[in-house]
Amino acid sequence: MTHDSIGLGEDGPTHQPIEQLASLRAIPRLLVFRPADGNETAGAYKIAVANRDVPSVIALSRQKVSVNLEGTSANEVERGGYIVSDNSGGNILPEIILIGTGSELCLCEGSAKILRQEGRRVRVVSLVCWRLFDRQPSEYKEKVLPLEIKKRVSVEAGSPVLRWGGGNMWERKVR
């Protein structure tokens, strides 16, 4: 898929509805990838080709984004989500976790840079494929998104109907 996101492209606005990601992720067994850059796109393509027994969708933005964001990895895409950057150091946990997908990952990195200049400990996580991340062992998910860190912000151009609830589940957001 192309023209993902609500952002303005070089030749005008996108035409895909923002609800598409939530509806695609609701389809059983479908792997929905929202890569942030060339590294993650290559990783998503590799996984889609290797897993021919399940359907895959790679949602690509038409916005100008960095070809290779610092910290992204084609190999880590197979886990669905991974740590892109973290200034906490050692065994110290971050104060806040910023979770980004697709073209919004760069917004998380930009926000993290500002927060780090203020002395905050910030982790940025790329959540490329929710379904693959949910399949990971609980130890890995806890390493990436420790449950004790309650200050989390997820950034994705889409409808605000789902949020990470911890463990192996997604919770509906009540407004």
Task: Quick: pLDDT tens for 127-161.
Answer: 999 999 999 999 999 999 999 999 999 988 766 65
Contact assessment for residue 80 and residue 129, using Cβ atoms and an 8 Å cutoff? yes
Spatial distance between the Cα atoms of 80 and 158, rounded to a whole number of angstroms: 18
3-state helix/strand/coil string of 62-79: CCCCCCCCCCCCCHHHHH
- Is residue 62 pLDDT above 90, yes or no? no
Cβ neighbours of 149 (radius 10 Å): 15
* Overall size of the chain counted in residues: 175
How many helices and strands, by DSSP H and E, does the chain display?
Answer: 5, 10
* 2 domain-assigned: no
**How many domains, the chain?**
1
Q: Is residue 102 part of a domain?
A: yes
In a domain, 75, yes or no: yes
In a domain, 141, yes or no: yes
Task: Answer yes or no: is 126 within a domain.
Answer: yes
Answer yes or no: is 3 within a domain: no
First to last CA, the chain: 30
pLDDT tens by residue, 96-128: 999 999 989 999 999 999 999 999 999 999 999
Residue 156 counted as domain residue: yes
CATH of the domain at 132: 3.40.50.920
Average pLDDT (86-94) is 90
92: domain range? 8-172
Domain-located, residue 89 = yes
pTM of this structure: 0.83
